[in-house]
């Protein structure tokens, strides 16, 4: 029987042997893990040898499509990239979007799994005619955008869509991105994994459409969602963009500045989304098949235009103490061009700045809070691993472990992933969300901050039921990210699980209920935890940086607010209980069974923090100045 | 004593503006027994002996005890009206206003006139915006305005850089008109309804006395739509958040629809208020004390 909404197969390309294989994906797996992040997690679990070193050839790099991709439903042109993170040693599950996502579906697979390492830089091309490994030596050193253009020109197809790594991915910067059409699978260093495989780019071009089970039903749902996507719920994203967060967070004492030493920033007005819009707005943009179109491009004084999101603005501005918006726009441009996660870039630079100011890092290349020139010099140095950039390319946790001298205290990360721009001390539901997220300090795979903004809890207080709120937000995220629907559409549903399950039923022809979707969401989230456990997770990995747990907020409306270790411990206990896990945060056998997850596997003895990378020969670089 | 050369003896009322969104001529909107234009004239006549009304060609108006001039060409924007008015007025300077202003504060108008010495224009700067249609102009700026008109620069603000302009700051204005009702003008039938309600309450003597004020801080969509980041609103005794919303709707009608519900009794989906940077609230019954800061923002903090 044909499954609607899926192709029912994956493509496995092994770069060691240069061979590829089309493999069936069973309907059971699709039904249990839906697609996107869920399908990707499930494939990672099976393809990754337990304890695999993230930059070793055996670490699988999974690109997963989703049942709603290609249906034309608003905000669904998305794909997931899932692998073991070289930054955290745990799961890295990132999303990206637009035409590449549609192309992935159109080449006739639900997932593309890449393993191995090519002897020379390659571009993987999947077309209707088959699979081709093309020489990419001439592309080495190019930015992702230039690579995209070059590959599309070489393949002479307007319909060819390309995802690529920039120099940061080639040079195994542990927070390198994979990007397509100016968007990035940003967090966790998926670009370093792709670079470690000597895989410069993936080009896709296909015409395999997937039929949906109930075309009229899907069309009606699409029309309804499109209409709702244009209501006041999404006005922020349509009229201002995510940059709107900056002024609000500053006012609420929730804008981390100067490596989380301050929860407000003097130049917040100058950097705010509102003032950027009023003075430098250039253009609004969006992913393919999206009606919300939240992307904003701003004019830089250099004449160009630069995309800006809140997280990039926060990380390269307040977090590093940069007040000059032109410098922030330029820093963002550099991160995009080299293929760096702007949050981890800002977080790691801010760590270096604090270390430099404390005299712990003498060779910091002039890095000090607010030193714009030094930041603009450091970003290319990180991407090219030059000078202090080589240390910073490891991310704040590994850099701190290498530096020692107590500098780990100033690394604002969880599980090795740098914190996003949500101050945990004044957003306490979010604090718990950040502490327990499988991929480290993450604001995307769940949205625990939503509770803090709802008025249903006191954001400055950690009283229960924080555990249940975080768990619900994670499951909601897992469902959205697996279907895949953009999180910015999330508040347009009246009854999300019922509507989404109905949609999935109309696309796939399955008799799929809200309860089944809820269960799938819990299963997906729990499998991420099971993966982490297998890779060496320990209870202390669910935590927050010492600064957050020892220093009270120094300014703003929440001045004096603290988050104590006891408070966090209580919230964790509440969370594990809400999840039905063991008291120490491990997933019990009973829970695994109930969710149909694999039994516990031998746990990697090596904790990711202690695992050292096998020596990897950084491939010869073209087009980058060695230094 | 103010000498003849600084005397503001005239008022110019621009009545010819477009009323497209109102659907009928604003000058003729009735307040009690009278059309609005008469109400405005009656007030200004207590301050200025010479009153000039500038109307559009063919515009219907009641009998008025004033100098009536007609725009030579159909409405050319405020600069056109200003030129015609200044040409006709009989003193060295004039207070200029549009005709759709039911809540002019005469103390504020006479204060503007008193601030003229040493300047060519006195214009209020209220909540981040200049108010060229509630300002005093010297007749001597007429040639400059006429040149502007020829060049098609139809906004009075172009003049302000060229002459000695005093921008009256908010603090000075608040002393005489704490909530800036002077600058309330009406563009839509809703604005008219809201003005009428306030006017009736005031004239009936039934208006609840203002017990205090609170500041509303606008973020995101609200800030961009309103073109200001904060406004101050008047609160009655025992005020609630609902009072803040309706006061806000009167002051910033552009927020009705996108941010405030049509009835101005709540927030649209996707918005939330926060009191003093602390608690998030959507409940209109929540008490608001004088001096409170009400933050108005998107409830979706995704980034
Ligand atoms: S809302 Fe923004 S991120 Fe989401 S699909 Fe649309 S453009 Fe892309």
Mean pLDDT of chain B: 89
| pLDDT tens-digit series, residues A536-590 | 999 999 999 999 999 999 999 999 999 999 999 999 999 999 999 999 999 999 9
- Among A429-433, A473-477, A566-570, B105-109, whose mean pLDDT is lowest? B105-109
CA distances from B93 to A421, B9, B87, B116 (A): 55, 7, 11, 9
CA distances from A453 to A431, A459, A584, B278 (A): 13, 7, 29, 10
Same-domain check for residues A474 and A589? yes
pLDDT tier at B32, thresholds 50, 70, 90:
confident
Given a cut of 70, whether residue A600 has pLDDT beyond it is yes
Q: Is residue B299 classed as helix, strand or coil in its secondary structure?
A: coil
**What's the start-to-end Cα distance of chain B, in Å?**
61
Query: Which of B278, B282, B302 is nearest residue A487 as measured by Cβ atoms?
Result: B302
Mean pLDDT of chain A: 94
pLDDT tier at A617, thresholds 50, 70, 90:
very low
- Judging contacts by C-beta atoms under 8 Å, the chain A residues touching residue B295 are 248, 251
- From A367, A386, A411, give the residue that closes a domain: A411
Q: Where are the domains of chain B?
A: 4-205, 212-302
Cα of A604 to nearest chain B Cα, Å: 35
Given a cut of 50, whether residue A408 has pLDDT beyond it is yes
pLDDT tier at A610, thresholds 50, 70, 90:
low
Given a cut of 80, whether residue A535 has pLDDT beyond it is yes
pLDDT tier at B191, thresholds 50, 70, 90:
confident
Cα of B270 to nearest chain A Cα, Å: 4
What gap in Å lies between CA A43 and CA A62, rounded to an integer? 7
Q: What is the pLDDT of residue A21?
A: 96
Tokens 């007609």: give the residue. Answer: B70
Given a cut of 80, whether residue B208 has pLDDT beyond it is no
CATH of B4-205, one of 3.40.50.300, 3.90.550.10, 3.20.20.140, 3.40.50.10740: 3.90.550.10
Query: Contact A12/A18 with Cβ under 8 angstroms?
Result: no
- Judging contacts by C-beta atoms under 8 Å, the chain B residues touching residue A248 are 219-220, 295, 297-298, 301
User: What CATH number corresponds to the domain at position A131?
Assistant: 3.60.9.10
Given a cut of 90, whether residue A303 has pLDDT beyond it is no
pLDDT tier at A189, thresholds 50, 70, 90:
very high
Q: Is A233 in the pocket of ligand 1 (CB under 6 A)?
A: no
Mean of the pLDDT values across residues A616-627? 33
Cα of A386 to nearest chain B Cα, Å: 31
Q: What is the pLDDT of residue B23?
A: 80
Q: Is A292 in the pocket of ligand 1 (CB under 6 A)?
A: yes
- A152-159: long-range contacts, CB 8 A cutoff, minimum separation 24: A152/A203, A155/A125, A155/A203, A155/A205, A157/A205, A159/A103, A159/A205
Same-domain check for residues A396 and A439? no
Q: Is residue A362 part of a domain?
A: yes
Domain with A465, as residue range(s), is: 424-492+512-544+564-597
CB atoms within 10 A of CB B290: 13
Q: Searching chain A, which residue's CA lies closest to the CA of residue B277?
A: A252
Atom 8, ligand 1: which residue's CA is nearest? Answer: A287
Q: Is residue A278 part of a domain?
A: yes
**pLDDT over 70, % of chain A:** 96
CB atoms within 10 A of CB B2: 11
- Judging contacts by C-beta atoms under 8 Å, the chain B residues touching residue A447 are 302
Same-domain check for residues A332 and A463? no
Given a cut of 60, whether residue A615 has pLDDT beyond it is no
- Ligand 1 centre to CA of A76 (Å) is 9
Do A453 and B280 make contact, defined as CB atoms within 8 angstroms?
yes
Global pTM reads: 0.79
**Number of domains present in the structure of chain A:** 3
- Judging contacts by C-beta atoms under 8 Å, the chain A residues touching residue B292 are none
Same-domain check for residues A436 and A373? no
Q: Searching chain B, which residue's CA lies closest to the CA of residue A241?
A: B303
- Ligand 1 centre to CA of A91 (Å) is 24
- Judging contacts by C-beta atoms under 8 Å, the chain B residues touching residue A237 are 300, 302
Mean of the pLDDT values across residues B10-16? 92
Same-domain check for residues A469 and A406? no
pLDDT tier at B62, thresholds 50, 70, 90:
confident
Q: What is the pLDDT of residue A626?
A: 30
Structure tokens of A87?
């930054």
Mean of the pLDDT values across residues B37-42? 89
| pLDDT tens-digit series, residues B286-299 | 999 988 999 999 99
CATH of domain B212-302: 3.10.20.30
Rg (CA), chain A: 22
Query: Which of B219, B277, B303 is nearest residue A310 as measured by Cβ atoms?
Result: B303
pLDDT tier at A620, thresholds 50, 70, 90:
very low
Q: What is the pLDDT of residue B40?
A: 92
B contact test, residue of A453, A555, A557 with most B CBs within 10 A: A453
| pLDDT tens-digit series, residues A357-379 | 999 998 888 999 999 999 999 99
Pairwise pLDDT comparison (B74 vs A192), residue with the higher score: A192
Atom 4, ligand 1: which residue's CA is nearest? Answer: A486
């Amino acid at each position: 029987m044909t499954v609607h909404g899926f192709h029912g197969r994956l493509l496995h390309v092994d770069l060691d042997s240069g061979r590829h294989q089309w493999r069936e994906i069973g309907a059971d797996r699709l039904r249990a893990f839906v697609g996107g992040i869920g399908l990707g997690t499930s494939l990672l679990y099976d393809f990754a040898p337990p304890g695999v070193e993230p930059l070793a050839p055996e670490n699988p790099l999974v690109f997963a499509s989703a049942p709603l991709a290609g249906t034309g439903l608003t905000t669904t042109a998305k794909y997931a990239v899932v692998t073991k993170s070289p930054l955290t040693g745990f799961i890295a599950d990132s999303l990206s979007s637009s035409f590449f996502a549609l192309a992935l579906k159109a080449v006739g697979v639900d997932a593309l799994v890449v393993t191995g390492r090519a002897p020379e830089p390659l571009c993987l091309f999947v077309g209707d005619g088959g699979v081709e490994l093309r020489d990419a030596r001439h592309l080495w050193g190019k930015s992702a955008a230039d690579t995209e253009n070059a590959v599309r020109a070489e393949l002479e197809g307007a319909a060819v869509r390309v995802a690529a790594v920039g120099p940061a991915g080639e040079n195994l910067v542990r927070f390198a991105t994979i990007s397509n059409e100016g968007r990035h699978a940003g967090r966790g260093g998926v670009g370093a994994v792709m670079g470690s495989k000597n895989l410069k780019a993936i080009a896709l071009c296909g015409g395999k459409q997937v039929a949906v089970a109930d075309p009229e039903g899907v069309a009606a749902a699409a029309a309804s969602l499109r209409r709702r996507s244009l209501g006041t719920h999404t006005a922020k994203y349509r009229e201002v963009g995510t940059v709107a967060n900056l002024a609000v967070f500053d006012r609420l004492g929730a804008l981390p500045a100067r490596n989380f030493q301050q929860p407000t920033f003097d130049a917040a007005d100058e950097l705010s989304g509102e003032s950027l819009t009023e003075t430098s707005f250039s253009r609004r943009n969006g992913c393919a098949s999206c009606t919300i179109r939240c992307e904003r491009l701003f004019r830089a004084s250099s004449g160009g235009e630069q995309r800006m999101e809140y997280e990039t603005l926060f990380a390269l501005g307040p977090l590093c103490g940069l007040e000059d918006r032109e410098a922030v726009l330029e820093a963002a441009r550099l991160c995009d061009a080299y293929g760096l996660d702007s949050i981890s870039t800002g977080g790691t630079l801010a760590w270096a700045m604090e270390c430099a100011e404390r005299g712990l890092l003498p060779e910091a290349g002039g890095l000090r809070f607010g030193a714009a020139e030094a930041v603009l010099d450091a970003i290319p140095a990180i991407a090219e691993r030059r000078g202090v950039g080589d240390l910073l390319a490891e991310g704040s946790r590994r850099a701190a472990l290498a530096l020692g001298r107590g500098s780990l205290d100033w690394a604002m990360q969880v599980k090795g992933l740098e914190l996003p721009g949500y101050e945990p001390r004044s957003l306490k539901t979010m604090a718990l969300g950040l502490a327990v997220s499988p991929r480290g300090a993450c604001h995307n795979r769940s949205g625990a901050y939503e509770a803090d903004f709802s008025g249903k809890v006191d954001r400055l207080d950690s009283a229960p039921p924080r555990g249940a709120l975080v768990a619900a937000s994670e499951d909601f995220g897992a469902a959205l990210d697996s279907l895949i629907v953009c999180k910015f559409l999330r508040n347009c549903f009246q009854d999300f699980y019922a509507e989404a399950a109905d949609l999935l039923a109309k696309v796939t022809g399955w008799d799929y209920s809200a309860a089944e979707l809820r269960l799938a969401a819990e299963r997906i989230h729990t499998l991420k935890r099971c993966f982490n456990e297998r890779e060496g997770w320990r209870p202390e990995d669910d935590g927050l940086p010492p600064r957050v747990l020892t220093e009270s907020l120094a300014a703003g409306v929440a001045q004096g607010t603290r988050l104590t270790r006891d408070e966090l411990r209580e919230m964790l206990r509440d969370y594990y209980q809400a999840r039905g896990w063991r008291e120490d945060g491990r997933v019990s056998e009973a829970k695994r069974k109930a969710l149909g997850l694999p039994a516990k596997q031998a746990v990697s003895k090596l904790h990711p923090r202690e695992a050292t990378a096998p020596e990897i020969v950084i491939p010869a670089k073209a087009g980058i100045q060695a230094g | 004593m103010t000498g003849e050369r600084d005397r503001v003896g005239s008022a110019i009322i621009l009545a010819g503006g477009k009323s497209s969104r109102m659907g009928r001529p604003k000058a003729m909107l009735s307040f009690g027994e009278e059309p609005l234009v008469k109400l405005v004239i009656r007030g200004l006549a207590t301050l200025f002996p010479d009153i000039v009304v500038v109307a559009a060609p063919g515009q219907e108006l009641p009998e008025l005890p004033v100098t009536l001039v007609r725009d030579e060409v159909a409405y050319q924007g405020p600069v056109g009206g200003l030129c015609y008015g200044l040409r006709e007025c009989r003193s060295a300077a004039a207070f200029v206003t549009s005709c759709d202003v039911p809540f002019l504060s005469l103390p504020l108008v006479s204060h503007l006139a008193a601030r003229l010495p040493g300047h060519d224009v006195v214009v209020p700067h209220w909540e981040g915006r200049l108010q060229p249609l509630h300002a005093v102009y010297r007749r001597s700026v007429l040639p400059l305005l006429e040149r502007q008109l020829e060049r098609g620069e139809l906004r009075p603000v172009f003049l302000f850089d060229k002459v000695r302009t005093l921008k009256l700051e908010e603090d000075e204005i608040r002393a005489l008109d704490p909530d800036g009702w002077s600058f309330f003008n009406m563009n839509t039938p809703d604005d008219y309804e809201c003005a009428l309600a306030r006017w009736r309450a005031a004239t009936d003597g039934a208006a609840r006395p203002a017990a205090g004020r609170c500041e509303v801080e606008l973020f995101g969509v609200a800030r961009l739509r309103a073109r200001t980041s904060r406004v101050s609103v008047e609160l009655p005794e025992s005020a609630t958040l609902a009072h803040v919303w309706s006061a806000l709707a009167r002051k910033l009608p552009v927020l009705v629809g996108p941010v405030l519900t049509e009835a101005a009794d709540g927030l649209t989906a996707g918005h939330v208020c926060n009191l003093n940077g602390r608690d998030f609230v959507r409940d209109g019954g929540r008490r608001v004390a004088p001096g409170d800061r009400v933050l108005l923002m998107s409830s979706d903090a995704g980034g």
